[in-house]
Structure 1
Amino acid sequence: MSGIVLSSSVRQNLLSLQSTADLLATTQSRLSTGKSVNSALDNPTNFFTAQSLDNRASDINNLLDGIANGVQVLQAANTGITSLQKLIDSAKSIANQALQTTVGYSTKSNVSTTISGATAADLRGTTSFASATALSNVLYNGTAGGTTAASGTTTLGAAQASVSGTGTVYASDGSTALTGAITLLGTTAASKLTTAPADGDTLTVNGKTITFRAGAAPASTAVPSGSGVSGNLVTDGSGNTTVYLGTNAAPGATVGDVLTAIDLASGVKTSTISSGAATIGVASGATASSAAAGVVTLKSSTGADLSVTGNADFLKELGLTTATGAGNATVTATRTTSSSSLGALISDGSTLNVDGHVITFKNAPVPGSTNAPAVASGFGVSGNVQTDGAGNSTVYLQGGSINDVLKAIDLATGVQTASISAGAATLTTATGQINSSINASGQLKLSTGVNADLSVTGTGNALNVLGLAGNTGTATAFTAARTSGIGGITGKTLTFSSFNGGTAVNVTFGDGTNGTVKTLDQLNSALQANNLTATIDANGLLTVSTTNDYASSTIGSSSAGGSIGGTLTTALTFSTASSPVQDTVAQTARANLVNQYNNILQQIDSTSQDSSFNGVNLLNGDQLKLVFDETGKSSLSITGVTYNSKGLGLAALTNGVDFIDNAATNKVLTNLNTASSTLRSEASALGSNLTIVQVRQDFNKNLINVLQTGSSNLTLADTNVEAANSQALSTRQSIAVSALSLANQSQQSVLQLLR
């Protein structure tokens, strides 16, 4: 080949063509590999730098699998903790159910003693009481001016009131003056009224009813039970009367009968009933209503004002009103007070309720007096008071006085007692008591007695009239407290040593001030901190027993404590502390709860054992180490825990020992709460570690991308540039071939000459 001689132009074109071919080959290589650096010969610096970056990215990528496994290990542990927490909550529910179950003992340990007279309100025992005195407002009599004080003899009633016709009235003949003998019906004009009441007409007198009936009065054997007949009248003994009109042919009732019926209703007259017959008489000291010389005069009783309401035409017939017509008219007669009566009068039917006993004020003469009904069986009369001997009385207004009211009040309070015999009540003042009285100022001095604090309420106007309605006259009750002495154990001290870790008790009984104890509530407040409680029954039996929390313990035992002492034990004898008595049904229920609880613990153990991933269990004491970089310098070590029942501080329960009372149950609940807190703390730690691992996992993924991007930046070819280069080199190669062809043309010309 060395013998071949090429011209310089050919050789030059050949060299250019060879160079273009080399560049074209290089460009095509870059286009096919996508890299501008394919070997150290291309660019040693970029090649080895890119190789180092790729190697590091590969190493970190290899760590991602371990990190991913670590994430799953942590998630498995976290899932286990979640399940363990649910199991702990179930165990708590069982323990709380034990607290709500009937206490496991039908009788708890207790000591007791009897304190005579003790009550829940006052544990000090029998208290001595002295009668106190309470004063009413000032009472005045009816003296003009209304400022004269009343006295014990001031009467409750007043003088009779009268109301009379203003002119002469006549029989139906118009000339015969009206008298009591005039009949309501008849055939003779001179002996009857012009217009008689119709059958069924009524008069209302002080709330009592007078009814007019046609026909003759019935025989005594035909009257209703409890009523009696007298002439043309049938009365029930309480002021309600039926007046029988008769007929025109056989007249019955007279004007005098009507006036008698009005007097029976007003209390001016009384009736005594026996075997269907009524004996009617004028009340002692009273004047009956009358009709004479054409004038009708109505009288009130001394115990109540008079009010008569009836047909206007009939009342006009009697000359008592000028009103006419079929409607009603009312005639009244109001009593006037005097120096011998109260300035304000008590209304008929008013009552006082004194310490639960009832005093009734009645407009009538006292039973057993002249023309008054006999004293009812079982009752007795003293003055103008009728009593049942048990504190309930009736004060009769027609003759009663302030002294009678005071007597009735003392019977109600027990200041006086009544012995009843043959309708008479003999009053005796209780030992050490002072009868109620009225002072010179006109105030009632009421003795409270010793049986109860004084409490007086009333109906009607009695409370107000007697000055017991307060300064404003609107109070609904009058009260006064007895004077009380000290109880039987005042100053005595009761002690209990610490019971089941409670606070020792040192209680002094007193009036409830300055740290002393008076009531059962105060005693229980003192005993509560020592796990004891007290009760008292109606007989004063004070019992101190254990609370439900320590129902299985015995007061005063060496294991529980609670020994009793103090000066109270020298004054009273306490019983020996009883042992608690188990309730079989309740203990069986609690034993079932123990079994349920132990089953939960077994599930806790198995759940802890199963909380693993790929052989690693962070809840069973395993450790987890995660490497985050290729050098091993960046890593995280997670130390596992042992969270089976024992690791959580929980132990299997024993029937007859655990859940037997609230204290034992509360201990279990305390351990469960501690275990729950431990799980929450570990869950927080696992959550923190899981966050760290996940952050590093994401970091490594991003770092790999950064490394690979950097490597590519060093070695990758720009395909746009290389494609342009390839196109240019192809064009150059074509030109070089053409140039080489032109260079060879001169030699071809020489060849032509040689031919």
Structure 2
Amino acid sequence: MADVVLSGAIRSNLLSMQNTTRLLDETQLRLATGLRVRSAIDSPTSFFTAQGLNNRASDLNNMLDAMGQAVKTLEAADQGIKSILKLVDSMKAVANQALETKINATTIVGNRSGAALTGGVALAGLGALATGHSLTVTVGEVTASVDIGAATGEVETVQDLIDWVAATFVGDEPLEAVINDDGQLEFSAANGRELSVAADNGGTAVSLAGLLGTHTSSTNGVNRDKFEADFNNLREQIEQLAGDASYKGVNLLKGDLLSVFFNSEQTSKLDIEGINLTPEGLLNIGTVPNESGDHGFAADADIKAFVDTLNAATGVLRQQSSTFGANLGVVQIRQDFTSSLVNTLESGASELTVADTNEEGAKMLALQTRQQLGTTALSLANQAEQSVLRLFG
């Protein structure tokens, strides 16, 4: 079949319409996708430049996530320090309460009936007491026993018992025994702890009515033992709290290292060194001794020493809080900078590839008008050829 021969005018109009249709399709695609450069074919320079900018922006976005986690780690450490400071303040309050609490002796004053006691009175024969019986005295957590008798290491008279008490209960658990003006045997435990006196015969209790009457135990003193226990409990809470102040396995209050990277090449970073903010670490807060014969709050000077230690710990905590705050400021500044840089990179990539919808919309209207004019021009060209047919009519 022979090729159809088109006139020059028709062919010219047809080519113009085809070009207009192509441009119209391209404009519609830009409006639909929002991009004027969709692949390297459209514009190699713009496409690959924009791709490089977007890749860097993506890498920096990942670094932003890491920086955000670093901020959370620092915030966890800061919250830990604030809580530890509150616990230290509570420990100061406990120590000061102990200091304000004056120790009063615990006393047992005998109320035996009968003649007044003297130092030379034999213990055996005082009521139910007899040779071979044991006398047991307890002051707080210290207990000591002695047998009634004339042998070495035994007590025979009331004065022997008084001397044995003076020699046995010394140091942190002192006890004094005297015969008062009323002729009654009186015990006084200066530490203010619970005091009791008992007698037995081979494990069977023996009445002390002949020596002390019915008054054989007392808790009428005042001591500071409760404050020692409260202080140590708070100290333990500091240890536990410091151990719990971690975030994603990093604990800056236990000496861990936090490295914050600011670029994907890891050439820009900040190393944040943690410190051991525990009682055993830099806080240096010791345990208050609270065992028999060794009580840390027994003397005012010892309590004041603990208060001084707590004041020093407060200074350490505040200084480290300031250091972590400075580090947090650096990370947040870099975070803001990186976020702005990501926006700049993405904006630069967009300028290279994103279509201007206003411009493309105007092109669409112009191309649609051109297409209509092309159709009209093609019709006019056809009319010129149809006039030849009328010559054969």
Could you say whether these structures have the same fold, taking a TM-score greater than 0.5 normalized by the shorter chain as the test?
A: yes
1:650 pairs, out of 276, 285, 295, with 285
Match of 2:157 in 1: none
Match of 1:681 in 2: 319
1:743 aligns with 2:377: no
2:234 pairs, out of 600, 603, 618, with 600
Q: What secondary structure is seen at the aligned counterpart in 1 of 2:270?
A: strand
Offset at residue 752 of structure 1 (A) = 4.2
CA distance in 1 between partners of 2:93 and 2:278 (Å): 19
Letter in 2 for 1:596: D
In 1, are the aligned partners of 2:105 and 2:192 still within 8 Å (CA)? Answer: no
Q: What secondary structure is seen at the aligned counterpart in 2 of 1:632?
A: coil
Match of 1:712 in 2: 350
Letter in 2 for 1:623: L
In 1, are the aligned partners of 2:35 and 2:354 still within 8 Å (CA)? Answer: yes
Superposed, 1:138-177 pairs within 5 Å as none
Output one character per residue of 1:526-549: Cα deviation in whole Å (capped at 9) or x when no partner.
xxxxxxxxxxxxxxxxxxxxxxxx
Match of 1:638 in 2: 272
Offset at residue 81 of structure 1 (A) = 0.7
Match of 1:54 in 2: 54
Match of 1:663 in 2: 301
Output one character per residue of 1:91-134: Cα deviation in whole Å (capped at 9) or x when no partner.
1222222332326899xxxxxxxxxxxxxxxxxxxxxxxxxxxx
CA distance in 2 between partners of 1:5 and 1:584 (Å): 127
TM-score by length of 2: 0.66
Superposed, 1:147-296 pairs within 5 Å as none
Letter in 2 for 1:708: E
TM-score by length of 1: 0.35
Superposed, 1:40-439 pairs within 5 Å as 40-102=40-102
CA distance in 1 between partners of 2:320 and 2:274 (Å): 10
RMSD after superposition: 2.5
* Cα pair distance change 1:72/1:713, threshold 3 Å: same
CA distance in 2 between partners of 1:711 and 1:724 (Å): 24
In 1, are the aligned partners of 2:105 and 2:222 still within 8 Å (CA)? Answer: no
Percent of counterpart pairs with the same letter? 45
In 2, are the aligned partners of 1:104 and 1:660 still within 8 Å (CA)? Answer: no
Offset at residue 62 of structure 1 (A) = 1.7
Offset at residue 682 of structure 1 (A) = 0.9
Number of equivalenced pairs: 283
Q: What secondary structure is seen at the aligned counterpart in 2 of 1:584?
A: coil
CA distance in 1 between partners of 2:365 and 2:225 (Å): 95
Letter in 2 for 1:707: L
In 2, are the aligned partners of 1:104 and 1:590 still within 8 Å (CA)? Answer: no
Letter in 1 for 2:255: G
Offset at residue 85 of structure 1 (A) = 0.8
CA distance in 2 between partners of 1:45 and 1:677 (Å): 60
Offset at residue 681 of structure 1 (A) = 1.0
Letter in 2 for 1:93: A
Q: What secondary structure is seen at the aligned counterpart in 1 of 2:223?
A: helix
CA distance in 2 between partners of 1:686 and 1:2 (Å): 88
* Cα pair distance change 1:600/1:651, threshold 3 Å: same
Q: What secondary structure is seen at the aligned counterpart in 2 of 1:96?
A: helix
Offset at residue 78 of structure 1 (A) = 0.9
Structure with more relative contact order (C-alpha pairs < 8 Å, separation 6 or more) = 2
Q: What secondary structure is seen at the aligned counterpart in 2 of 1:35?
A: coil
CA distance in 2 between partners of 1:622 and 1:63 (Å): 21
Match of 2:341 in 1: 703
CA distance in 1 between partners of 2:392 and 2:332 (Å): 89
CA distance in 2 between partners of 1:633 and 1:582 (Å): 70
CA distance in 2 between partners of 1:669 and 1:2 (Å): 113
Offset at residue 730 of structure 1 (A) = 1.4
Letter in 2 for 1:49: T
Match of 2:332 in 1: 694
Offset at residue 30 of structure 1 (A) = 1.7
Match of 2:251 in 1: 617
1:723 pairs, out of 361, 368, 391, with 361
Match of 1:416 in 2: none
Offset at residue 598 of structure 1 (A) = 0.8
CA distance in 1 between partners of 2:254 and 2:390 (Å): 102
Q: What secondary structure is seen at the aligned counterpart in 2 of 1:633?
A: coil
Q: Which has the higher strand share?
A: 1
Q: What secondary structure is seen at the aligned counterpart in 1 of 2:36?
A: coil
* Cα pair distance change 1:588/1:104, threshold 3 Å: closer
Q: What secondary structure is seen at the aligned counterpart in 2 of 1:589?
A: coil
2:225 pairs, out of 591, 599, 609, with 591
CA distance in 1 between partners of 2:240 and 2:362 (Å): 71
CA distance in 2 between partners of 1:707 and 1:628 (Å): 16
In 2, are the aligned partners of 1:103 and 1:661 still within 8 Å (CA)? Answer: no
Q: Which has the higher helix share?
A: 2
Q: What secondary structure is seen at the aligned counterpart in 2 of 1:638?
A: strand
Offset at residue 71 of structure 1 (A) = 1.4
In 1, are the aligned partners of 2:103 and 2:223 still within 8 Å (CA)? Answer: no
In 1, are the aligned partners of 2:30 and 2:36 still within 8 Å (CA)? Answer: yes
CA distance in 2 between partners of 1:726 and 1:669 (Å): 83
Offset at residue 2 of structure 1 (A) = 6.7
In 2, are the aligned partners of 1:50 and 1:711 still within 8 Å (CA)? Answer: yes
Gaps of 5+ in 1: 107-550, 553-580
Q: What secondary structure is seen at the aligned counterpart in 2 of 1:643?
A: coil
In 2, are the aligned partners of 1:104 and 1:661 still within 8 Å (CA)? Answer: no
Match of 1:628 in 2: 262
Q: What secondary structure is seen at the aligned counterpart in 1 of 2:192?
A: helix
Output one character per residue of 1:542-580: Cα deviation in whole Å (capped at 9) or x when no partner.
xxxxxxxxx98xxxxxxxxxxxxxxxxxxxxxxxxxxxx
CA distance in 2 between partners of 1:641 and 1:727 (Å): 69
